[in-house]
Structure 1
Amino acid sequence: MSLFIVWLGVMFPLVFSPGPANIVFAASGAQVGVKRSIPLVAGIDSVFIIKSIIIGYGLGEVVNNHPELMNYLQLLGAIYLVYVATKFLRTNSSKLKSTSKALGFFDGLLIQILNSKGWLMVFLMFTLFSEQSQATFGDSGIAILIIWLAFLNISIHFLWVSIGELLSRISSSPLYEKWLNFFYAGCLMAVSIWLIIENPMIKTVLSTST
């Protein structure tokens, strides 16, 4: 129990923080509701579980030894987030909301595969807690961390979707819905720009050009 409390104290803020995936969840909940956002959640959390298995059982060393892979993922992820942001600008009224195309399972896969924050978060978890979990639970330690993270991710992700749906129900005004979509799109654009600016490859190019 003490290990779980410490683990939760570290991982909850990381999972709950408004990163790319959580912003997409809130926007999807606002646009199409919780039920139609389930495939998106399933896609993102499927990749999270696969990431956890890969890194937890040692295969993550390949990524760790080749940091340039993370840099490429970060750039591709930023570009894809710009595309996702434009999709949230296409629905500006309640009539269109009921027929708008929801982000699906494949969108979730791409968002999470290209989400460098997600990779780093899983790396951090196993760096901090692998030895403790194995000392506490033996050979099952890694599997238990994977299960804990899966349950935390799924619950928090549905919370973000529900928050988005709740915000969309506050007002039925088309103007409110329009600006809510602009807000989500703006958040994703801001995250995209930050990911590009902070990318080590881009920093190297900028430093050499100056």
Structure 2
Amino acid sequence: MLELALVIVPFAFSMTASPGPANLMVAATATNFGIARIVPQILGIAVALFAMILAAGFGLGEILLRLPQIHGALKYAGAAYLLYLGYRIATAAPPRINADRKPVSFLGAVMLQVLNPKGWIIALGAVTAFTRPTEEMSGQVLVIAGVTGLIALPSMAIWGLLGEAAGRLLQSARAFRVFNLTMAGLLVASIVTLFT
């Protein structure tokens, strides 16, 4: 199992650190609220990814492959939620005014990840690419899920730190507004990838 854990690390890092809806949301939220206030959001994304890999490894992946209408429904629900998050980012006030607002919660981040097709691609890809049918499956799935969930934590933190650094550089309400609109636009643009 140690060999499997070592093999999964580069895959997990490349998948969780590459740009996507969850990373964009973390960066934008950290810009507006700081990294300390988005720790629950980062944990929610990692926990959800862990659970999704377990689900993919223990049968849900097969259901999604056999019933494309469920996959389609997830895609549309994910797009709607991303639009909502894009709106929240676009309308966020600069940090000095954000004191009474709250970033996306742990459960909100879990929901984002569960509705995020990139998360399911990671889950299904990891299980199909790295398991060996000739070996006991549950142990392999647990290792893949555990390593990927753990790797997601520093990956999301990097995006959060980048967002927080951007927040320090943005010195005016106008600059924050432009940044938030840009991040919201990128998040909404990521919806296009759901349908291509």
Q: Establish whether TM, by shorter chain, passes 0.5.
A: yes
CA distance in 2, matches of 1:125, 1:185: 29
Cα distance, 1:84–1:59 mapped onto 2, change above 3 Å: closer
The 5-angstrom pairing of residues 48-197 of structure 1 reads 48-131=49-132, 140-195=139-194, 197=195
* Residues 30 and 165, structure 1, Cα contact 8 Å, conserved in 2: yes
Q: Percent identity?
A: 25
* Residues 29 and 164, structure 1, Cα contact 8 Å, conserved in 2: yes
Moved more, 161-170 or 93-102: 93-102
Cα distance, 1:125–1:32 mapped onto 2, change above 3 Å: same
CA distance in 2, matches of 1:88, 1:139: 39
* Structure-1 residue corresponding to 2:12: 11
What is the identity, as a one-letter code, of the residue corresponding to 2:80? I
**What per-residue deviation string (whole Å, max 9, x for no partner) do you get for residues 132-152 of structure 1?**
8x75x9863322112111111
- Which structure would you say has the larger RCO, counting Cα contacts within 8 Å and 6 or more residues apart? 2
How far apart are residue 44 of structure 1 and its match? 2.1
Unaligned runs of 5+ in 1: 199-210
Instruction: Let me know the Cα RMSD of the aligned residues.
Output: 2.2
State the aligned residue count.
195
Query: TM-score by structure 2 length?
Result: 0.88
How far apart are residue 120 of structure 1 and its match? 1.3
How far apart are residue 35 of structure 1 and its match? 1.5
Moved more, 84-93 or 137-146: 137-146
**What per-residue deviation string (whole Å, max 9, x for no partner) do you get for residues 72-107 of structure 1?**
111111111111111112233342133332111221
What is the identity, as a one-letter code, of the residue corresponding to 1:11? A
Moved more, 57-66 or 146-155: 57-66
How far apart are residue 168 of structure 1 and its match? 0.7
The 5-angstrom pairing of residues 29-40 of structure 1 reads 29-40=30-41
* Residues 79 and 192, structure 1, Cα contact 8 Å, conserved in 2: no
CA distance in 2, matches of 1:36, 1:94: 12
How far apart are residue 124 of structure 1 and its match? 0.5
Query: TM-score by structure 1 length?
Result: 0.83
Secondary structure of 2:103's aligned partner: coil
How far apart are residue 158 of structure 1 and its match? 1.5
What is the identity, as a one-letter code, of the residue corresponding to 1:156? S
What is the identity, as a one-letter code, of the residue corresponding to 1:10? F
Query: Of the two, which has the highest radius of gyration?
Result: 1
* Residues 40 and 104, structure 1, Cα contact 8 Å, conserved in 2: yes
How far apart are residue 4 of structure 1 and its match? 4.5
Secondary structure of 1:18's aligned partner: coil
